[in-house]
Chain A
Amino acid sequence: MSEIVKKFMYLNRKAPYGTIYAWEALEVVLIGAAFDQDVCVMFMDDGVYQLTKGQDTKGIGMKNFSPTYRTLGDYEVKRIFVDRASLEARGLTQEDLVEIPFEDFETEEEIDNIVEIVDSARVSELMNESDVVFSF
């Protein structure tokens, strides 16, 4: 593995199913997880809809990829953020979103839910701190 660790941000701004962006972003996050970088995933604008609980795609004949978000912690993604204003504009609260657990098998650190709702100043700060931003 490379010794240079970069801070990656995956920025998600699209709703799931209507376009391929959300699915493609998830694939890239999972692939990127193999490279041992410092990763955070940000959901804003319609991207917050990717995390809604209870998605059931049987009626539209598409693959339901929402359960995969709950496994992100297993891919050593420890930082997942949701923009508060985007949630509020859509009448959503944290209650509407899936919970993503995290467990570090070496240190035995366990976190019940790594989904963190943040304000816009924090979103900007996280973007500024990132070395690379992948936009979807």
Chain B
Amino acid sequence: MSILHTVNKSPFERNSLESCLKFATDGAAVLLFEDGIYAALSGTSVESVVSGALGKLKVYVLGPDLKARGFSEERVIEGISVVDYAGFVDLAAEHDKVQAWL
């Protein structure tokens, strides 16, 4: 049973990402979107936490939400994949269920 976890809150404002990373198990996927994209950027105070999770989790970030907030794909932490809306749908379809960390 593989879960797609979604996080749409800023890691600096809520503990959604922290809880997600604590409970997501090996092989699960995490999609960062809306204000959740800030966790995917390099150079932040949460970068090491996110990088550390890349060993056991697949992490994705929604491109249109990055662009809306003024960030290019070059600012994204290495190992995180940028997806578009069609990619979001594919991820939802590929996993057994979607768990939203609001």
Contacts and interface: CB of A to CB of B under 8 A. Distances in A.
A49 interface: yes
B interface, size bucket: 20 to 34
Contact of B13 (A45, A56, A59): A45
Contact of A18 (B34, B42, B45, B67): B34
A45 B12 contact: yes
A56 to B, nearest CB: 5
Interface in A57-81: 57-60, 62, 64, 66
Given A45-B12, A59-B84, A64-B68, 14 more contacts: A17-B34, A17-B65, A17-B69, A18-B10, A45-B13, A46-B12, A49-B69, A55-B70, A58-B67, A60-B65, A89-B45, A90-B12, A90-B44, A91-B45
Nearest to A53: B70
Contacts of A92: 43
Interface string B1-14: 00000001110110
B67 A59 contact: yes
B73 interface: no
A15 B6 CA distance: 18
Contacts of B47: 91
A82 B68 CA distance: 21
B41 interface: yes
B101 interface: no
A52 interface: yes
B70 A90 contact: no
Interface in B60-102: 63-65, 67-72, 84
